[in-house]
Amino acid sequence: MSFRIVVLAKQVPDTRNVGKDAMKADGTVNRAALPAIFNPEDLNALELALEMKDKMKGAEVIIVTMGPSRAAEVIREAMYRGADAGYLVADRKLAGSDTLATSYALSLAVKKLFPCDVVVAGRQAIDGDTAQVGPQTAEKLNIPQITYAEELLDISEDGVTIKRRLERGTEVVKSAFPVLVTVHSSAPECRPRNAKLTMKYKHAKTVSEFQNDDSDYIAMRNIRPYLCISEWTAANLNADDNLLGLSGSPTKVKEIENVVLTHKDASVLSSSDDDINLLMKELIASHVIG
């Protein structure tokens, strides 16, 4: 039995360490000024996918990322942790895509990998924080979706059971395959890079990356086909160019504003039992605790 799990991952600028030059004057992210990293929640997604692989005999994890050629690093990172293969969706025509155009391209890529059983993605990417790409991709694939996954409770040939992290508690849901799952940061953190897998896959490259390699490495790749990371262009996906990139993106950034959060109504409490009781009740009622 084969069981195919596709992970959608994104290389993002590390917005957790933002300096002054993080934004360009036109309101877009200055990618050159920030180190490129594996989107954190996509790592949670990869872990969930690898847990599924551990539990399903003969399962494979395939990673798909859309981005410039350096985004192949995300695919290698995933391979070091246990992914079996990767596809890079790269084309100039994709530049400037919003979530609608991105989910269109990704859904075409996933379709090329059909039949697949599960598609897993991070809830959202730290550069846009929209949480839209996963759900939109599911809609375009016309498959059910489980968002905000926190824990894989069970998986078998019949389907998958997942605990979701909601604003005020958790919910357990079950779905048949195929299904798309988006994963929350409260899910288990990703396993570390494995030494043997790192040594095995460090030579994995896309066609455009290995053009400059010497003949020894090219010979090695002929013997080890798993070292080739496939690249797909818009044409490979049979995409309608009008639905890609800027022309396929109805979202336009009008303006970026720097918002400083300030606290509002503060209340002063004494240390009396009554006041503490009151505070506790208020905190429980608002689900801050409990």
Partner 1 sequence: MENYYSDNPSLKHHLNNPEMKRIVDLRENNYVEKDKFDFAPLDFEDAMDSYDKVVEIIGEICAETLAPAAEDTDHNGPQLINNEVHYAKGTALSLEKLNDAGLFGIALPRKYGGLNLSIVPYVMAAEIVSRADAAFANIWGLQDCAETILEFASEDQKERFLPRVCAGETMAMDLTEPDAGSDLQAVQLKATQNEKGEWYLNGVKRFITNGDADIALVLARSEEGTKDGRGLSLFIYDRKSNAVKVRRIENKLGIKGSPTCELVFENAPAELLGERRMGLIKYVMSLMNGARLGVGAQSVGICEAAYREALKYAHEREQFGKAIIQFPAVYEILSVMQAKTEASRSLLYETARMVDIYKCYNAISEERKLEPEERNIQRSYNKKADMLTPILKLMSSEYCNQNAYDAIQIFGGTGYMKDFPVERIYRDARITTIYEGTSQLQVVAAIRGVGNGQILSIIKEYEEREIPVEFSSLREKLIALTEQYVKSVATAQALENADAWDFLGRRMVEMAANIIMAYLLLFDAARNDYFVNILKVFMNMIEAQNMSSARFIENFKADELDYYRK
Binding site for partner 1 (CB under 8 A): 191-200, 202, 216-217, 220, 224
CB 199 within 8 A of CB 193: no
Residue (140 or 200) nearer to partner 1, CB: 200
Least distance from partner 1 to the Cβ atom of residue 186, Å: 17
Least distance from partner 1 to the Cβ atom of residue 216, Å: 6
Residue (16 or 168) nearer to partner 1, CB: 16
Least distance from partner 1 to the Cβ atom of residue 12, Å: 14
Residues 6+ apart with CB under 8 A from 182: 45, 120, 121, 122, 123, 124, 131, 134, 135, 145, 146, 147, 148, 149
Residue (185 or 236) nearer to partner 1, CB: 185
CB 81 within 8 A of CB 46: yes
Residue (85 or 105) nearer to partner 1, CB: 85
Q: What are the b/e assignments for 74-110, b being 16+ CB within 10 Å?
A: bbbbbbbbbbbbbbbbbbebbeebbbbbbbbbbbbbb
Least distance from partner 1 to the Cβ atom of residue 194, Å: 5
Least distance from partner 1 to the Cβ atom of residue 261, Å: 27
Residue (194 or 230) nearer to partner 1, CB: 194
Least distance from partner 1 to the Cβ atom of residue 53, Å: 14
Residue (164 or 205) nearer to partner 1, CB: 205
Residue (77 or 98) nearer to partner 1, CB: 77
Q: Which two tokens stand for residue 244?
A: 């890609």
What gap in Å lies between CA 176 and CA 120, rounded to an integer?
14
Beta strand residue intervals within 84-144, DSSP E:
85-89, 118-122
CB 45 within 8 A of CB 7: yes
Least distance from partner 1 to the Cβ atom of residue 208, Å: 21
Residue (108 or 229) nearer to partner 1, CB: 229
The single residue listed with the structure tokens 């490979």 is 236
| 3 state SS of 11 | strand
What gap in Å lies between CA 112 and CA 165, rounded to an integer?
31
Bridge partners (DSSP) of residue 120 are 7, 181
Least distance from partner 1 to the Cβ atom of residue 15, Å: 15
Phi, psi of 277 (to 5 degrees): -55, -45
| 3 state SS of 213 | coil
